[in-house]
Structure 1
Amino acid sequence: MARCPKTAAEAFKRLDRRLTKQEKQQIAEAEDVVEFHFGLGMWIRNYWIYTGESENLESLLKDLGEPEFLIGDMASSAILDAYQKHLRGK
C-alpha cells in the first residue's frame, strides 16, 4: 500500500482510524488548524508528503480541489483544512 493516499476519501479514512475521538473533536472545534502544524501536520508531511510519491500527492491535492504543485507546509495545511471540513460535515 502506498504511504500517501491518492484521494480525499482515502486520506480521511486513514486519519479517522489514526486519531482518537477526542483528537477528532479537537480538530473539528479548532478555530484554526494551524494549531496542529507541529503535531498532525508534521506527521502528514513526514508520512504522506515527503515519501517521494509525488503522483499520489498530486492526485490527493487535485481531489481536494487544491493546486497540484503544493508542497510541504502548504500541502499539509490544505489536507488539514479539508479534514476539518470533513469532520464538520461540510
Structure 2
Amino acid sequence: AVPMGTVGGLFGALFGSGGFLYALYLSARLEAKEQVRATQSALISCSTVVRLSMFLIAGVYADSSLLLLAACLLPVMFVGLWVGRR
C-alpha cells in the first residue's frame, strides 16, 4: 500500500491525477465494487481538501481574476455533470 500510495501521490502532485493508480490498486485489493467506489470517493475528497487548503495558504485565491474565471466556468461544469450522468 505504501509504494502505491507514494506513487499515486506523486502523480497527483505532478500531474493532478493520481486517482487512476488508486483505482487500479483498490480494484485488486477490494472485492466489492461499492467498497472501491466509496474508498475512491474518500481519497479524491481528501486530496481536494488538502489541495484547496494549500492553495488558500499560498494565496492563490487572492487573485480576483482567477476567481472570476472560476465563476465563469461554473455553468460549463454543471453542463458537463449533467451530460455525464445521462
Regarding TM over 0.5, the answer is no
TM-score, length basis structure 2: 0.34
Mark the structure with the bigger radius of gyration.
Answer: 2
TM-score, length basis structure 1: 0.33
Greater relative contact order, per chain length (Cα 8 Å cut-off, separation 6+):
1
Which one has a larger percent helix, Structure 1 or Structure 2? 2
